[in-house]
Chains A and B, each alone.
Chain A
Amino acid sequence: MTIAERITVTKSIDARGMACPGPLLALIGAIRQGKVGDVFEVLSSDPGSRSDVPAWVAKAKHELAEAAEDTGFVRFVVRKTH
C-alpha cells in the first residue's frame, strides 16, 4: 500500500467536545461498521484520547497511521486491518 492510499480517509469523525470515553467509543463503532482497509480520522479534544486511542488501536491490532497535535485537539488516523 502506498502512502497516498494510506492517508485517504474513508470516514472522518469529529469528536471534539465529546467527553472521555466518547471519542474512543465513536472510533470503535466506526471501525466495527467499516471494511478492512478503511481509514478513519478522529478529531478529539478529550485528553484521555491521547493515551486511550493508541492503546486501543494496539490492543485491537489495527494500525495507527497518525496522531497529530493540532490546536486544542489531536487528529488520529486509524486503518482497519482485519
Chain B
Amino acid sequence: MDDTESTVSFVLFSGTDDRLSAAAILAVGAAAMGRPVNVFLQYWAVDAFRKQKVMADHGVAPEAGPAGASLVRASQTGDRHWSELFRQAKDIGDVKIHACALSMELFAITQEDLDPLVDDVEGVAAFMSDATSGPITFI
C-alpha cells in the first residue's frame, strides 16, 4: 500500500442502525483501500456507542418505514452488525474513532461509558486538524 492516500473523515450524527451500518461499510472500504479514516461521533452516534447500548435496537432513518426497519434489524447480526464492521475496519487499516467532547458533556458521560472502539474524546478543532487532507462526510 502506498501511504499517499488522503484521509477520509466521517462525522456521524445519526445513531440509527442503518446510517451507522452505511458509515461502517464506508469505513471498511476506505480502510481496505489504504486510506486513513477519521471518524467523529456527535449526538446520537455518541449515544449509540455507549457500552450498554451498542447491541441495542437503534431504530432506522425515517425513510425506512416499518418494512425497511425489519430488514435493517434482521441484518444486524454477528459479523454484519455495524460495531463489528467498525472493529474489522480498525483491524485492517488506520481507523480512528473520536467522540465529540460537547456531545459527551450533553449526555454527562465519560469515555469509560463508551465502547472500546472509541479511541478518545476530542474537540471539533482537533478533529478538523486531522481532516485537512481529504473530504468530510456528514452521516
Contact = CB atoms under 8 A, between A and B. Distances in A.
A binds B: yes
B34 A19 contact: no
Main secondary structure of the interface of A (DSSP, over half): helix
Interface string A21-59: 110110011001000000000000000000010011001
B11 interface: no
A25 B29 CA distance: 10
Looking at chain B, what size class is its interface with the partner chain? 10 to 19
Main secondary structure of the interface of B (DSSP, over half): helix
Looking at chain A, what size class is its interface with the partner chain? 10 to 19
A1 B35 CA distance: 32
Contacts of B92: 25, 28-29, 32
Given A25-B88, A59-B32, A59-B33, 10 more contacts: A20-B25, A21-B25, A21-B32, A21-B85, A25-B28, A25-B92, A28-B92, A29-B91, A52-B29, A56-B32
